């Protein structure tokens, strides 16, 4: 019986590294699989790790049909023993449903990797459905740290160094705004307390150099 497994963590927790390792381990034992991704930082059709590892993958746009894709390959004499699905938080509910169906009806193991919540602390669509359907959910063991040294639990988005809590859920490149120059978009991980206070590493450093009191509520 195949499983649908979701490995999740914050940014910088090594999810893409583990996705590549899982693919390598299964391939080295003679199993044949397929690797999928969506909105990877390195561009379309690639799974990349911040450690410098990368591999070719099939890009998953919102209209991609996992069931049709896999059935087509299987009926054309291709062998698929497992699926590695990176950046699964960006998949649609229907796509996660298809991955569960593939595991149940085609006996193909499905390993998903992703982030639970977005920069607004809300569940991504794909992650929410995986929470509901996955046979197992496994927290990535690489612990990420907030600038204060505490365990990081939240992902923060910054524009020109200022933390924001509104905007498009998926922003890989710059954010367009006709009223001002295009801001630089960045991400960092924070503990819950500093995410609530919007206290990024840059703001904390600036505050430490200022004679003013830190802007805590």
Give domain limits for the chain: 4-139, 154-208
- Rounded CA separation 183/160 (Å): 5
- Give the pLDDT confidence score for residue 175 in this predicted structure: 40
Pairing between β-strand 136-139 and β-strand 33-37 as defined by DSSP bridges: unpaired
As averages over each run of 10 residues, the pLDDT of the chain (217 residues) reads 94 90 96 96 87 91 98 97 97 98 98 94 96 96 87 87 78 50 78 92 78 53
**What are the pLDDT digits (tens) for 2-16?**
999 999 998 888 899
Tokens standing for residue 112? 């998903």
Give the residue from 2, 12, 13 showing the smallest Cα distance to 138: 13
Mention every residue, 6+ apart, whose C-beta is less than 8 A from residue 117: 123, 124, 127, 154, 155
For the full predicted model, state whether its pTM sits above 0.85: no
| Interior angle at CA 192, CA 186 and CA 193, nearest 5 | 105
Reply yes or no on whether 168 is catalytic: no
**CATH code, 4-139:** 3.40.50.300
Contact status, residue 84 vs residue 23, Cβ threshold 8 Å: yes
- Pick the catalytic residue: 68, 87, 176, 188? 87
């Amino acid at each position: 019986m195949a499983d649908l497994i979701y490995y999740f963590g914050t940014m910088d927790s090594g999810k893409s590294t583990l996705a590549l390792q899982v693919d390598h381990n299964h391939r080295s034992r003679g199993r044949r699989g397929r690797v999928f991704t969506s909105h990877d930082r390195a561009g379309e059709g690639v799974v990349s790790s911040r450690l410098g590892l990368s591999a070719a993958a099939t890009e998953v746009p919102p209209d991609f049909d996992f069931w049709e894709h896999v059935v087509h390959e299987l009926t054309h004499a291709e062998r698929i023993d497992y699926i590695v699905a990176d950046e699964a938080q960006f998949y649609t509910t229907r796509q996660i449903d298809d991955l569960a169906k593939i595991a149940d009806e085609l006996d193909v193991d499905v390993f998903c990797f992703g982030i639970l919540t977005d920069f607004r602390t809300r569940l991504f669509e794909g992650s929410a459905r995986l929470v509901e359907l996955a046979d197992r959910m496994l927290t990535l063991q690489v612990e990420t740290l907030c600038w204060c040294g505490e365990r990081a639990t939240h992902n923060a988005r910054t524009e020109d160094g200022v933390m924001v809590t509104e905007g498009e859920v998926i922003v890989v490149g710059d954010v367009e705004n006709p009223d001002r120059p295009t801001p630089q978009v960045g991400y960092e991980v924070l503990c819950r307390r500093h995410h609530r206070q919007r206290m990024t590493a840059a703001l904390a450093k600036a505050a430490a150099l200022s004679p003013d009191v830190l802007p805590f509520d």
